[in-house]
Amino acid sequence: MKEPAVLFRETLVSLLEEKKYPTLRDVLVTLNPADIAALFEELPADRLPLLFRLLPKELAAETFVEMEPDEQELLIRGFSDNELKEVIDELYLDDAVDIVEEMPANVVKRILRSADPDTRKMINEILKYPEDSAGSIMTIEYVRLRRQFTVEQAIKHIRRTGIDKETIYTCYVTDDNRRLLGFVSVKTLLLSDEEASIEDVMETNVIYVYTTEDRETVANLFHKYNFIALPVVDEEQRLVGIVTVDDALDVMQEEYTEDIEKMAAITPSGKPYLKTSVFALWKARIPWLLLLMISATFTGMIITAFEQALAAQVTLAAFIPMLMDTGGNCGSQSSATVIRGLSLDEIEFSDLLRVQWKEIRVAVLCGVTLAAASFAKLLLFDKVTLAVALVVCVTLAVTVLCAKVVGCTLPILSMKVGFDPAVMSSPFITTIVDAISLMLYFSVATAVLGL
Amino acid sequence: MKEPAVLFRETLVSLLEEKKYPTLRDVLVTLNPADIAALFEELPADRLPLLFRLLPKELAAETFVEMEPDEQELLIRGFSDNELKEVIDELYLDDAVDIVEEMPANVVKRILRSADPDTRKMINEILKYPEDSAGSIMTIEYVRLRRQFTVEQAIKHIRRTGIDKETIYTCYVTDDNRRLLGFVSVKTLLLSDEEASIEDVMETNVIYVYTTEDRETVANLFHKYNFIALPVVDEEQRLVGIVTVDDALDVMQEEYTEDIEKMAAITPSGKPYLKTSVFALWKARIPWLLLLMISATFTGMIITAFEQALAAQVTLAAFIPMLMDTGGNCGSQSSATVIRGLSLDEIEFSDLLRVQWKEIRVAVLCGVTLAAASFAKLLLFDKVTLAVALVVCVTLAVTVLCAKVVGCTLPILSMKVGFDPAVMSSPFITTIVDAISLMLYFSVATAVLGL
């Protein structure tokens, strides 16, 4: 698939250089907003206001939504109050909120001042919901039907009001107090008799979420039920907004990127890698590296404590990396599996014992296999004494067991106490397992070899 | 949010035990297919055929789709030929294909024999597309319009044919040779003048994919453009099917899980953790553990080579874990960031030098910070000699640099040669960086300390 952005880029640059603005505009309007935004980012920033003003109002607003915060801020700073108002008026409310959340305080003030009073009030309402909640990602622009409507009236209502709604395909039926009674899809409306009443064709088994629900759970519901929209209610079951499937996709991508970053001991930034400054990357990585480096001191202290034993049998040092690495890998496997299961809602706290029992059995199988392979290699290839081979293999098997139990337990416990389980992944598990494996190694060695 | 499945479970079990089947049926039909499937999985497997037969035909088929392959197979084996035919006839084609892909050969034969000849032919067509391609996840049931239609005719056409289509909300306009001309959304149709022709209201700038496109790229397009459906064409630009947003969500979830598993050195299984047997978990994990354990031998050999130096200054051993861990963590940070950037299509092969240059600068910042912190700690806390502190800190700084360069380079190279970059993550990077850091450590130590 060749993306339009790639196809058009060179032509557009030359049109821009030759100042053929009407032609440029005619070409731009054939493109998708996401492609125009990607294109604008590749062009010199000082041309951005000029290019943006070429776009018709609606397309301009749609393109604005797709831009990176840096470019949005640059444009807003260049806008007259009137231009800003025009763009804000065209935005869907949830998009406006997303933009406001990314801007510095003085830009936010200008945006809110430019919005009409109703929009300003609604933006402020949504901003009050906690970050990462259903309330913070919902839009309040949806189609609301009355149960007394006929199908024909409902379609007319959609025709009259649908132009400003983010989706018209799922319509919600409420009573006079906005309490949610049911929903009906446009597919059902189109395939039903025009005379039928909404009450008869609506689906009353509605899956909904509260405004405070975690946004990742919301995204998982879209995956489970194949929705294209999901209603959001307040604590009195009144419909306050909807989340659409495109928001669920965004949430999924963002949450997943955050998970990967946390699992690699990086503070999530929310910015694409190539757009993040070297200093910002350093800031996101260094605290964890320092913390983990200091933690590794304990492992070093274990070695120091057994320095005499090590000096007496310096061969033992050669197997330290293998023991540490294998322990770390076993622990990482378990923690990654469990972290993923937790974020898919496949594993819950009540499964703790079940998970541990499963990991113990897997650990025994893995431990025996690895120890056997290692034993053969130690005797045949490394040609160590039987006693040393025994020390290494017993340590290995017990390390695998400890690693898998620690690896599966810590993410579940950390979720229980309210921390993100993703932090309890490879780097931390490895650090803990390193200390355990060396402690085991030297204890077994001193006992067996009589050091 | 309290899910219906939880609310109803206990009632249902008692209804089942009391054999109150009509009541049971009345309760079940109020539930969502995904919830019924989840519920059925919690009940004894021998009741499954009985429960399934209580459901009305359409709901039965929708529930069937949501079940795990094990339960599906169990049901199919219990079905009469007639029952099987009824279920298959109700399925959307892409769902039927998904099921066929999971079943053993003899069950597949029965399914294909039960399907009517047209369906069988279409299932076989889709099965020919490579796994993980757009062709393998598409459905061929979409609404096709002619450009000569008026909006009114189009809506009538949808009313007549829409019942069997997976989505009616995006309709595709083709010429007589099925070549894709444009698309029109039901929203546009409803908001347009009834007399307008489809040719006038359709959007001609169509983003499409070829049947061979990678399914992860397809899912990324949904995220980029906020589509609810995406057309799939053959190499002659003829429309052969569509992918819907719910399939994109599925793909995203599956690909994420696979990525996380690969990054933790596990062979992806595609099954939920709690449903995977201990033996299957062992089989997915042990090859990588063995491979990595054997690779760690090289690190051990480096220590053996410098055994004399180590025996002369056994203090050096205490800093091995810290150097290995910090190197591993630095490498993992870079590789995780780059792997994520690659799968989001934010980083391409042509960015290699740009990425390396960025990582080198980050590595210098991180290396200097870590070395400085470490230097202070070594002198003040560990009270080692200045020479030993210098050896450790110089090694640390250079290790960080090597780790970050290796960590960002290997995933990009591995993508270039056609391997999954996710494999080049923490476990492999750590193993490689371990060897590098120990080699550096002992080389610096022998040079500075004159061992």
User: For residues B434 and B344, is the Cβ–Cβ distance under 8 A?
Assistant: no
* β-strand partners of B169: none
Across B84-236, the runs of DSSP E, i.e. the strands, are 144-145, 170-174, 180-185, 209-210, 229-233
pLDDT tens-digit map of B350-382: 999 999 999 999 999 999 999 999 999 999 988
B217 and chain A in contact, CB less than 8 A: yes
Of B265, B272, B377, the CB nearest to A346: B272
Report how many helices (DSSP H) and strands (DSSP E) chain A contains, helices first: 22, 6
Average pLDDT of chain B? Answer: 89
Over residues A146-155, mean pLDDT: 93
Decide if B365 and A293 are in contact by the 8 Å CB cutoff: no
Which pTM value belongs to this model?
A: 0.83
B48 burial via Cβ count (<10 Å: 0-12, 13-18, 19+)? middle
pLDDT tops 80 at residue A398: yes
User: For residues A407 and A245, is the Cβ–Cβ distance under 8 A?
Assistant: no
A267 burial via Cβ count (<10 Å: 0-12, 13-18, 19+)? middle
pLDDT tens-digit map of B114-169: 888 888 888 888 888 888 899 989 988 899 999 999 999 999 999 888 777 888 89
Q: What percent of chain B has pLDDT over 90?
A: 47
Over residues B328-348, mean pLDDT: 92
User: For residues A146 and A173, is the Cβ–Cβ distance under 8 A?
Assistant: yes
Reported confidence tier of residue B1, pLDDT bands at 50, 70, 90: very low
pLDDT tops 80 at residue A286: yes
Instruction: Tell me which of B351 and B13 has the higher pLDDT.
Output: B351
Reported confidence tier of residue A96, pLDDT bands at 50, 70, 90: confident
User: Chain A, 254-293: which have a CB under 8 Å from a chain B CB?
Assistant: 256-257, 259-261, 263-266, 272-274, 278-279, 281-282, 285-286, 288-290, 292-293
pLDDT tops 50 at residue A275: yes
Return the pLDDT at A77: 86
The contacts of residue A292 (CB under 8 Å, 6+ apart) are A265, A427, A428, A431, B325, B326, B329
User: Chain B, 332-351: which have a CB under 8 Å from a chain A CB?
Assistant: 332-333, 335-341, 344, 346-347, 351
Decide if A207 and B314 are in contact by the 8 Å CB cutoff: no
Q: In chain A, what residues touch B260 (CB-CB under 8 Å)?
A: 259-260, 263, 336, 339-340
User: For residues B364 and B403, is the Cβ–Cβ distance under 8 A?
Assistant: no
Please give the Cα distance from A355 to A45 (Å, whole number): 53
Instruction: Tell me which of A4 and A89 has the higher pLDDT.
Output: A89
ipTM of the assembly? 0.82
pLDDT tops 60 at residue B14: yes
Return the pLDDT at B4: 52
Amino acid at B435: A
pLDDT tens-digit map of B52-64: 888 888 888 889 8
Average pLDDT of chain A? Answer: 89
Return the pLDDT at A288: 92
- Nearest-Cα distance to chain B for A219, in Å, is 9
Exposure b/e, A219-234, CB count within 10 A at least 16 = b: bbbbbbebbbbbbbbe
pLDDT tens-digit map of A183-211: 999 999 999 999 999 999 999 889 999 99
Do the bridges between strand A229-233 and strand A239-244 make them parallel or antiparallel, or are there none, so unpaired?
Answer: antiparallel
* β-strand partners of A133: A214
Amino acid at A321: P
pLDDT tens-digit map of A360-393: 999 999 999 999 999 999 999 888 899 999 999 9
- Nearest-Cα distance to chain A for B176, in Å, is 23
Reported confidence tier of residue A144, pLDDT bands at 50, 70, 90: very high
Mutate to test the interface with A, among B28, B31, B226, B290 (most CBs of A within 10 A): B226
pLDDT tens-digit map of A10-54: 777 788 888 888 888 888 888 888 888 888 888 878 888 888 888
Return the pLDDT at B3: 53
Q: What percent of chain A has pLDDT over 70?
A: 98
Return the pLDDT at B127: 83
Greatest mean pLDDT range, A159-173, B6-20, B193-207: B193-207
Please give the Cα distance from A157 to A147 (Å, whole number): 13
Reported confidence tier of residue A1, pLDDT bands at 50, 70, 90: very low
Reported confidence tier of residue A7, pLDDT bands at 50, 70, 90: low
Reported confidence tier of residue B179, pLDDT bands at 50, 70, 90: very high
Instruction: Tell me which of A44 and B239 has the higher pLDDT.
Output: B239
Decide if A315 and B293 are in contact by the 8 Å CB cutoff: no
User: Chain B, 368-427: which have a CB under 8 Å from a chain A CB?
Assistant: 369-370, 373-374, 377, 426-427
Q: What percent of chain B has pLDDT over 70?
A: 98
Return the pLDDT at B389: 94
Decide if B438 and A208 are in contact by the 8 Å CB cutoff: no
Reported confidence tier of residue B243, pLDDT bands at 50, 70, 90: very high
User: Does residue B50 come out as left (phi exceeding 0), alpha (psi in the -120 to 50 range) or beta?
Assistant: alpha
Return the pLDDT at B245: 92
* DSSP three-state, residue A244: strand
Residue at token pair 């001309």 = B181
Question: Closest chain A residue to B288 measured between Cα atoms?
Answer: A329
